[in-house]
Amino acid sequence: MHDFTRRSLLQGGTALAATGALTGPALLDFAKAWAQAAPWKAEKGAKLTVMRWKRFVPAEDDAFNAMVAAFKTATGTEMNVFSESFEDVQPKASVAANTGQGLDLAWGLHTLPQLFPTQVLKMNDVADYLGKKYGGWTDAAAVTCKQGNDWLGIPVATIGGYMTYRKSSMEKAGFKEFPKDFAGFLEMCKALKKNNTPAGFPLGHASGDANAWLHWILWGHGAYTVDKNNKVIINSPETLKALEYCKALSDTFLPGAASWNDSSNNKIFLSGDLHCTANGISIYVAAKDDASKKELAEDTYHALWPVGPVGKPTELQLCVPILAFKFSKYPNAAKAFITFMLEKENYDKWLSGARGYLTHTLNAYDASPVWTADPKNQVFSQASKRALPASGIGTPGEKAATAIADFLVVDMFANYCTGRETAAGSIAIAERQLKRIYR
């Protein structure tokens, strides 16, 4: 837990000076002026307990903490911020929601606010204010937080994942640019394998990476786990096509993909044995930060996920929405803090600190400096626009979250691609499991 003092604020400010953004005293001045004019005034003696997911990029954490400290000084609100690992955020938020105490704000993953819609503070006014001021919300981001016309939370950002590849290997395989459709992508992977510069995507229980690319293939073929009424529709000819495509694709992979977890493709790519995979921007950032990997970093490029036969992007991206609980004693302070985070003076700097790891959800930030600071970051600016929620076309909510956590789609593909089951058999298993969850 952090307790912010003026001293730590100043220290945070100096650390950020390198990014050339609003820092230290300037940030404080802005915060004070903002607090005067803000549409929500923090209650006197307000005290906010904030839970967030554990950061991956230290500079992002610094930017976040500096912002929290500035908010504290400007509004006099006590801020108690602590972070939890990805896996623990949702259970802890659920417990708070059901016991009605412990937290004021929870910053979590995917569609967290949809898990307990009756326990959250409606954010319609905040969403309205920010949307109007910053060019509107992207549809994909809005859908994670909206129930009907109500905003259950605010989609703060998206942790994007995109194709990460070695340009030289792609060119050697005979491709001038990264394929834009499934057929081309398969051809490229075949050529990469022939050149002994293979692609690879995890088929193991990798919560982030495996779910992302396998849902992309499933949805790209127009197949879904459930329809919009949450009826299980996995047993379809489209799913069969997706399985066949995936099988053909996985035959071109670096062996061992069935055992990969979330970190496997990072380390194999960085070792130089893997030439195309899908990941957050972390592979590239790690290569950039390592002086001995200069050549690899220069050769590493990002591309959008190719579009499947359905003809539109079907990406599974990780949205990170924040919510305030209805039982919080300081709703105005909570709203003020959320708004404060997303104001340009803070948000631009924060995005820069995250180095492409976080993508904005408000259209105006398309012009944010982070996307032009390094042209290779540009691809990641699309993450909040090309995504479907984790539920696909079904209702975002706890059942969809359970299906993802249970690796149903991952196991369905893995069963077929590793030859453990026939196509019909692996679909039947997935269908049975989905019916268990959507019963």
Instruction: Tell me the site size for other proteins, rule CB under 8 A.
Output: 42
Window contacting other proteins (CB under 8 A); options: 145-153, 212-220, 255-263, 321-329 = 255-263
Using CB under 8 A, which of the segments 138-146, 291-299, 364-372, 415-423 binds other proteins? 415-423
Q: Identify which of residues 300 and 426 has a Cβ nearer to other proteins in the complex.
A: 426
Q: Tell me which stretch binds other proteins (CB under 8 A): 167-175, 199-207, 316-324, 381-389.
A: 199-207
Q: Which stretch binds other proteins (CB under 8 A): 183-191, 234-242, 382-390, 411-419?
A: 411-419
Which range, of 45-53, 300-308, 365-373, 430-438, touches other proteins by CB under 8 A?
430-438
Verify binding: residue 235, other proteins, rule CB under 8 A.
Answer: no
Contact flag: residue 160 with other proteins (CB under 8 A): no
Q: Does 266 bind other proteins (CB under 8 A)?
A: no
What is the smallest separation between the CB atom of 178 and other proteins, expressed in angstroms? 24
Among 414, 427, 431, 434, binds other proteins (CB under 8 A): 414
When asked if residue 436 is in the footprint of other proteins (CB under 8 A), the reply is yes
381-400 footprint of other proteins as x/- string (CB under 8 A): -----------------x--
φ, ψ for residue 105 (rounded to 5)? -125, 140
Instruction: Choose the binding region for other proteins from 10-18, 330-338, 350-358, 405-413 (rule: CB under 8 A).
Output: 405-413
Q: Return the HEC string of the chain.
A: CECCCHHHHHHHHHHHHHHCCCCHHHHHHHHHHHHHHCCCCCCCCCEEEEEEECCCCHHHHHHHHHHHHHHHHHHCCEEEEEEECHHHHHHHHHHHHHHCCCCCEEECCCCHHHHCHHHECCCHHHHHHHHHHCCCECHHHHHHHEECCEECCEEEEEECCEEEEEHHHHHHCCCCCCCCEHHHHHHHHHHHHHCCCCECCCCCCCCCHHHHHHHHHHHHCCCCCECCCCCECCCCHHHHHHHHHHHHHHCCCCCCHHHCCCCHHHHHHHHCCCCEEEECCHHHHHHHHCHHHHHHHHHEEEECCCECCCCCCCEECEEEEEEEECCCCCHHHHHHHHHHHHCHHHHHHHHHHHCCCEECCEHHHHHCHHHHHCHHHHHHHHCCCCEECCCCCCCCCHHHHHHHHCCHHHHHHHHHHCCCCCHHHHHHHHHHHHHHHCC
Kindly state the smallest distance separating residue 316's Cβ from other proteins, in Å. Answer: 17
267 binds other proteins (CB under 8 A): yes
Contacts to other proteins from residues 87-106, by CB under 8 A: 87, 90-91, 94-99
Please report whether residue 289 would count as binding other proteins according to CB under 8 A: no
If one asks whether residue 423 binds other proteins (CB under 8 A), the answer comes out as no
Structural contact between residues 226 and 239, judged by C-beta atoms closer than 8 angstroms: no
Per CB under 8 A, which of residues 268..287 are in contact with other proteins?
268, 271, 273
Q: Kindly state whether residue 255 participates in binding other proteins, applying the rule CB under 8 A.
A: yes
In the complex, what is the shortest distance from the CB of residue 120 to other proteins, in angstroms, rounded to a whole number?
Answer: 14
Does position 195 bind other proteins by CB under 8 A?
no
Q: Which amino acid is at 293?
A: K
Provide the minimum distance between the beta carbon of 206 and other proteins in the complex, in angstroms, as a whole number.
8
CA atoms within 13 A on the CB side of 369: 13
**20 near other proteins, rule: CB under 8 A:** no
The answer to the question of residue 420 lying near other proteins (CB under 8 A) is yes
CA-nearest of 363, 396, 384, 361 to 156 is 361
Rounded to a whole number of angstroms, the minimum distance from the CB of residue 226 to other proteins is 16
Distance CA 6, CA 199 (A): 49
For other proteins, the binding residue among 135, 402, 423, 438 (CB under 8 A) is 402
- Residue 256 within binding range of other proteins, rule CB under 8 A: yes
- How many whole angstroms separate alpha carbon 146 and alpha carbon 361? 14
Least distance from other proteins to the Cβ atom of residue 428, Å: 9
Minimum separation from the CB atom of position 433 to other proteins (A): 7
Q: Which of 153, 198, 204, 222 binds other proteins (CB under 8 A)?
A: 204
Q: What are phi and psi of 127, to 5 degrees?
A: -60, -40
The answer to whether 438 touches 232, Cβ cutoff 8 Å, is yes
Positions in the binding site for other proteins (CB under 8 A): 87, 90-91, 94-99, 203-205, 254-261, 264, 267-268, 271, 273, 398, 401-402, 405-407, 411, 414-415, 418, 420, 429, 432-433, 436-437, 439
